[in-house]
Amino acid sequence: MSQLDPLPKELPFRIISKTVGRGAYASIKKAIPLDSQSPVFAVKLIHKGYATKHGRISAKQLAMEVSLHSHIGQHPNIIEWFASGEDAVWRWIAMEYAEGGDLFDKIEADVGVREDIAQLYFLQLVGGVSFMHSKGVAHRDLKPENILLSQDGSLKLADFGMATMFEYKGQRKASSTLCGSPPYIAPEILACGKVDKRAPSSARYDPDLVDIWSCGVILFVLLVGNTPWDEPSSTSWEYSEYVKTSGKSSDPLWGRIPPEALSLLRGMMSVDPQKRFTFAQIRQHPWYTRHNPLLTADGRISDPIVLATKMLENLRIDLGKIPQTTLAYPPASHDPTVDSGLNAGRFSSTQPEAPVKGDPLEWRRFFKKVVVLCKDGVYVPEA
């Protein structure tokens, strides 16, 4: 689609790869400074016309993604924003490069991951999301595809295209936007889409509370390798039974959840948002507070090699079979700058092509120079 639209010419960096990740209206490429081979970082390239026409994403929404991502600031479990810019056709966002791929690809379907690994990533997920919330920002599209892993396996929240500011200077703001991915969204979001005809037209929801629901669904997926339902509505018998039985579903998937984790999930996935667990309650839960040898006292990975080995144990990989195609990347003859959206729900925004090494401090040093040339945090090429 965008073969006719060349990328911006005056970029403060050099692109060094083909597309390594795609979304509905954006692509990710690797880049380096113009005068150096390091550091390597990721650049999200958004075709503004395509985003508006096919993704129904306005220029204001694109600007909001940049603004909120930069506003969040630095956290070890959030992809770091560095700089952004645009021309008449493209908007670009330079950010931390996640070498480990997305979490989705590390979860074996219908199996999940080991309980200690699930707890590790849940703790880091809560750390990242609660930090966002402390800045007044909610993600609204939390799912394994939007969670990346660093070189040592640490969790990194990514893709803030659906994010919103729900609190500013002590004033809270509810939302009515229908957004997110159906298996992971909270039921009150669907009410805003008038999926349920009985729902009032003025239906609104608290963005931070829907994030907590999504974190619960992600934990469920980590533990069993599947989502509890296709969407939280009356059209799903799994969800209907969950509501009818107050979370005591007869679905075999729920039967595989460890009892302590089950108690936590029911609290996080309360259909009544006002009864849903807060992060303070989550952090006091016995399953959350149990000791995890895979983590250090400050919440970092204690031994990346041990973690990687344990994760591979659950993946059904036939090392004797040579793959004919790859699900992660398109064939060499098909390298669209912007994806058609066909697999938009399948790929994360910064899915890397191959591991590279780079000091995060190098990224910050380089982008300090770039931001000097920026206006309001956005890069503007010099005349």
Write out the catalytic residue numbers. Answer: 141
Whether residue 143 is annotated as binding a ligand: the answer is no
> 265 CB contacts (<8 Å, ≥6 apart)?
216, 219, 220, 247, 257
Pure H helices in the chain: 48-54, 59-72, 115-134, 187-192, 207-224, 237-244, 252-255, 259-268, 279-284, 286-289, 304-314, 360-372
Name the DSSP class of 368: H
Are 243 and 272 spatial neighbours (Cβ–Cβ below 8 Å)?
Answer: no
Taking CA atoms, 91 is separated from 88, 195, 352, in Å, by 8, 33, 20
Helix, strand, coil percentages for the chain (3-state, nearest 5):
35, 15, 50
Structure tokens at 328: 């992660």
**How many residues does this entry show for the chain?**
383
Q: Which residues of 38-59 are buried (b: 16+ CB within 10 A; e: fewer)?
A: ebbbbbbbbbbebbeebbebee
Compute the distance between CA of residue 254 and CA of residue 122 in angstroms, rounded to an integer. 18
Residue 2 has what DSSP assignment? G
Annotated binding site for ATP: 44
Annotated binding site: 44
